[in-house]
A = this chain, B = another copy of it.
Amino acid sequence: MSVVQSVLTATRVLERLSEPGLVGVSEIARDLGAPKSSVQRMLLTLKEAGWAADVRGETTRWTLTPKMFRLGQHHHAGNGLRSTALPVMEQLRDATRETVHLVVQRDDTVVVVECLDSPQAVRAHVDPGDVLPLHASTNGRALLSTQPEQVLRDLISKGLTASTPSTVTDPAAFEDVIRRARERGFASGEGQFRDGVHAVAAPIVVGGVGIASIGVSTPAQRMTPELEEAFGQYVMDAARTIAGRFGEDL
């Protein structure tokens, strides 16, 4: 089995970098028993790829960027989480008799991980793998509501494109939407991404980080303020349950 040597080296460097504290080129080289120049090149490469960052002081030290953390969380969210979430999603679907979906964030979008269809004839649906805009999907807003103000501002400054005539694109109005979601603990919206669909969603928060979101979608005509509130409680419960169970499998 032939294997790419430099990648093996790269992984060893990454492992070393994951250790607490900042390290210099020479120290890594010593630990790995590799030539300094090779390690130096490796670090520059990893920096280029966005995995390592150099902290330039009197002497250059290296550390990992949050990329590893993000990718790890992201993967875990999409895979480990799916099996954890499924039973809860089934409960939620049976309780609401509406379509239930689970999404994770990817950059400025959300990716649908799983979708359980409502048993009713008229129902909302998205396919696993579908990509929705972060700002124009209820699940995306639920995720946004867990994130620092700065992230929100960055997103807004990129411009909020409309997916339907109802999509909220005004910065101030959008901030209100997110603020409301923070207060209630769940997000809600009608026709933001697709006309005629009303959704309610809550973020799944693990370790203070919103790693995924679970939501319920209904045809807009079936939705009432009372139902919205009730579904809100349901999705929050479901999100908490999933978050609680999640992470027990290392």
Q: Write out the residue numbers on chain B whose beta carbons fall within 8 Å of the beta carbon of A177.
A: none
**B41 x A63 contact (CB < 8 A):** no
Interface segment, one of A28-36, A69-77, A186-194, A229-237: A69-77
Question: How far is it, in angstroms, between the C-alpha of A248 and the C-alpha of B66 when the chains are bound?
Answer: 13
Question: How far is it, in angstroms, between the C-alpha of A245 and the C-alpha of B207 when the chains are bound?
Answer: 9
Interface size on A, residues (CB 8 A): 62
Q: Which residue of B lies closest to A244 (CB)?
A: B208
Q: Write out the residue numbers on chain B whose beta carbons fall within 8 Å of the beta carbon of A6.
A: 4, 6-7
Whole-angstrom distance from the CB of A97 to the nearest CB of chain B? 26
Question: How far is it, in angstroms, between the C-alpha of A155 and the C-alpha of B112 when the chains are bound?
Answer: 38
Q: When A3-B48, A45-B4, A148-B250 are in contact, do A70 and B72 touch as well, CB less than 8 Å?
A: yes
Q: When A69-B73, A70-B72 are in contact, do A106 and B19 touch as well, CB less than 8 Å?
A: yes
| A21 part of interface (Cβ distance < 8 Å) | yes
| A129 part of interface (Cβ distance < 8 Å) | yes
Q: Write out the residue numbers on chain B whose beta carbons fall within 8 Å of the beta carbon of A159.
A: none
Q: When A208-B248, A248-B208 are in contact, do A15 and B71 touch as well, CB less than 8 Å?
A: yes
* Chain A contacts with B in 35-88, Cβ cutoff 8 A: 41-42, 44-46, 48-51, 63-64, 66, 68-79, 82
**B41 x A3 contact (CB < 8 A):** yes
Q: Write out the residue numbers on chain B whose beta carbons fall within 8 Å of the beta carbon of A129.
A: 20-21
For A48, give its contact among B1, B50, B66, B246 (CB under 8 Å).
Answer: B1
Q: Which residue of B lies closest to A114 (CB)?
A: B20
| A14 part of interface (Cβ distance < 8 Å) | yes
* Chain A contacts with B in 104-128, Cβ cutoff 8 A: 104, 106, 111, 113, 128
| A166 part of interface (Cβ distance < 8 Å) | no
For A3, give its contact among B45, B111, B113, B208 (CB under 8 Å).
Answer: B45
> By CB atoms of chain B within 10 A, which of A74, A104, A243 has the most?
A74
For A49, give its contact among B11, B17, B66, B206 (CB under 8 Å).
Answer: B11
**B46 x A7 contact (CB < 8 A):** yes
Q: Write out the residue numbers on chain B whose beta carbons fall within 8 Å of the beta carbon of A78.
A: 18-21
Question: How far is it, in angstroms, between the C-alpha of A157 and the C-alpha of B15 when the chains are bound?
Answer: 26
**B82 x A20 contact (CB < 8 A):** yes
Q: Which residue of B lies closest to A209 (CB)?
A: B247
Q: 28 A-B Cβ contacts within 8 A?
A: A2-B41, A4-B45, A7-B7, A10-B10, A11-B50, A14-B71, A19-B111, A20-B78, A20-B82, A21-B78, A21-B113, A64-B71, A64-B75, A64-B79, A66-B250, A68-B72, A68-B75, A69-B73, A70-B250, A147-B250, A206-B206, A207-B209, A207-B243, A207-B247, A208-B245, A208-B246, A208-B247, A209-B247
